[in-house]
């Protein structure tokens, strides 16, 4: 088994097919999207492939160590992660191909008008968990 991170981005990836921002969706569309995510996670729990997931709040602060006895730096010319990372899921699967399959399925979560988003997801293996890539 190999663990992978499925990383959902607000921005920073190519535009999704159904590219309406979530803050423009109806409450029913948001609920349908969240339910899809819950159902997806529940199925993976049944197969033993689910590890963890979390949606992230839009608030966030960059922090950097700035030397002994100095307060941490909390600003800078950085891209805001709150604008980039929407949430994540960790899966534990038998193969890279299975991780790709699940990422593709998760990409089909509904968005505006109930249509699949076709969003881009970043799929990354955990360090030390080298996948066999056959593509």
* pLDDT tens sequence across 35-85: 999 999 999 999 999 999 998 877 777 677 778 888 787 765 555 555 567
Residue 129's pLDDT band, with cuts at 50, 70 and 90, is low
Q: What is the pLDDT of residue 133?
A: 56
DSSP 27: H
Q: Which residues of 19-54 are buried (b: 16+ CB within 10 A; e: fewer)?
A: eeeeeebeeebeebbeebbeebbeebeeeebbbebe
Lowest mean pLDDT among 15-24, 27-36, 106-115: 15-24
Q: What is the pLDDT of residue 78?
A: 54
Q: What is the pLDDT of residue 79?
A: 57
């Amino acid at each position: 088994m190999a663990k992978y991170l499925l990383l959902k981005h607000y921005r920073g990836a190519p535009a999704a097919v159904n590219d309406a921002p979530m803050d423009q969706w109806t409450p029913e569309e948001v609920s349908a999207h969240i339910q899809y995510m819950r159902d997806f996670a529940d199925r993976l729990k049944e197969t033993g492939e689910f590890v963890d997931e979390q949606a992230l709040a839009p608030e966030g602060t960059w922090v950097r160590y700035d030397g002994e006895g100095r307060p941490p730096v909390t600003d800078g010319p950085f891209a805001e992660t709150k604008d980039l990372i929407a949430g994540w899921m960790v899966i534990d699967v038998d193969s890279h191909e299975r991780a790709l399959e699940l990422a593709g399925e998760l990409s089909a979560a509904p968005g505006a008008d109930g249509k699949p988003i076709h969003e881009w997801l970043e799929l990354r293996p955990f360090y030390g968990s080298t996948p066999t890539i056959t593509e």
